[in-house]
Amino acid sequence: MGKIKNLPDSKGHFNEYGGRFVPETLMPALIELEQAYKKYKKDKEFLAELNSLQKDYIGRPTSLYFARRLTEHLKGAKVYLKREDLCHTGAHKINNAIAQALLAKKMGKTRIIAETGAGQHGVAAATGAALVGLECEIYMGTEDMRRQALNVFRMRLLGAKVTEVTTGSRTLKDAINEALRDWTTNVRNTHYVMGTVFGPHPYPLMVRDFQSIIGKEARQQILKAEGKLPDCLIACVGGGSNSIGLFYAFLTDNMRMIGIEAGGLGIQTGKHAARFAGGSLGVFQGCKSYLLQDDDGNVLTTHSVSAGLDYASIGPEHCYLRDIKKIEYTYATDEEALEAFEVLSNTEGIIPALESAHAIAEALKVAPSMPTDSIIIVNLSGRGDKDVQEVARIKGIEL
Amino acid sequence: MSTISGVFKKLKKEGKKALIPYIMAGDPSLNNTENFILELEEAGADMIELGVPFTDPLADGPTIQRAHERALRQGVTLRKILAFVEGIRQKTKIPLILMTYYNPVFKYGIEAFIKEAVRVGVDGVIVPDLIPDEAKDFIRIAREHGFDTIFLLAPTSTEERIRKVSTASKGFIYYVSITGITGAKLLMDDSMKNTLESIKEIAKRPVAVGFGISNPEEASLAASLADGIIVGSAIVRLIAEGKNIKGFVKAIKEAI
CB-CB neighbours of A81 under 10 Å: 27
Instruction: Cite the beta strand spans of chain B per DSSP E.
Output: 18-24, 48-51, 96-99, 124-126, 148-150, 152-153, 173-176, 207-210, 228-231
CB-CB neighbours of B197 under 10 Å: 11
Pairing of strands A78-83, A375-380: parallel
More confident residue, A21 or A146: A21
- Has residue A267 got a pLDDT over 90? yes
Domain of residue B167 covers: 3-255
User: pLDDT above 90 covers what percent of chain B?
Assistant: 91
What pLDDT sits at residue A399? 85
- Has residue A147 got a pLDDT over 90? no
The number of C-alpha atoms within 13 Å of B79 and in the hemisphere containing its C-beta is 9
Amino acid at B254: E
Is A21's CB within 8 Å of B180's CB?
no
Q: A with B: how many residue pairs have Cβ under 8 Å apart?
A: 117
Average pLDDT across chain A, whole number: 96
Confidence of residue A146 (pLDDT cuts 50, 70, 90): confident
Q: Touching check for B90 and chain A: CB below 8 Å? A: no
Pairing of strands B96-99, B124-126: parallel
Kindly state the average pLDDT of the residues A79-90: 98
Kindly state the average pLDDT of the residues A52-69: 98
Is A297's CB within 8 Å of B161's CB?
no
What pLDDT sits at residue A297? 98
> SS in 3 state form for A71-121?
HHHHCCCEEEEEEHHHCHHHECHHHHHHHHHHHHHHCCCCEEEEEECCCHH
Amino acid at B218: E
What are the tens digits of pLDDT across the range A87-103?
999 999 999 999 999 99
Amino acid at A306: S
What pLDDT sits at residue B71? 98
User: pLDDT above 70 covers what percent of chain A?
Assistant: 99
- Has residue B112 got a pLDDT over 80? yes
What are the tens digits of pLDDT across the range A204-224?
999 999 999 999 999 999 999
Query: What is the number of structural domains in chain B?
Result: 1
What is the C-alpha separation between A303 and A341, in angstroms, rounded? 18
Q: Which CB contacts under 8 angstroms, 24+ apart, belong to A150-157?
A: A150/A119, A150/A386, A150/A389, A151/A116, A151/A118, A151/A119, A151/A120, A151/A122, A151/A123, A151/A386, A152/A119, A154/A119, A154/A123, A154/A126, A155/A116, A155/A119, A155/A122, A155/A123, A155/A126
Min mean pLDDT across A130-134, A390-394, B20-24 is at A390-394
Instruction: Cite the beta strand spans of A214-359 per DSSP E.
Output: 232-236, 256-264, 280-284, 286-291, 328-333
- Has residue A263 got a pLDDT over 80? yes
User: pLDDT above 90 covers what percent of chain A?
Assistant: 93
Residue B133 falls in the annotated catalytic set: no
- Grouping H, G, I as helix, E, B as strand and the rest as coil, residue A378 is strand
Note whether A16 and A288 are within 8 A (CB). Answer: yes
Confidence of residue B153 (pLDDT cuts 50, 70, 90): very high
Is B133's CB within 8 Å of A11's CB?
yes
> Which CATH number is B180's domain given?
3.20.20.70
- Grouping H, G, I as helix, E, B as strand and the rest as coil, residue B125 is strand
DSSP conformational letter for A383: B
What pLDDT sits at residue A2? 55
Residues 180-199 on B with a CB inside 8 Å of A are 180-181, 184
Kindly state the average pLDDT of the residues B168-190: 86
More confident residue, B8 or A2: B8
Residues 92-151 on B with a CB inside 8 Å of A are 102-108, 128-131, 133-134, 151
Note whether ipTM > 0.85 here.
yes
Backbone angles phi and psi of A383, in degrees to 5: -95, 160
- Has residue A195 got a pLDDT over 80? yes
Pairing of strands A13-14, A17-21: antiparallel
Is A23's CB within 8 Å of B151's CB?
no
- Has residue A114 got a pLDDT over 60? yes
Kindly state the average pLDDT of the residues A171-175: 92
Confidence of residue A171 (pLDDT cuts 50, 70, 90): confident
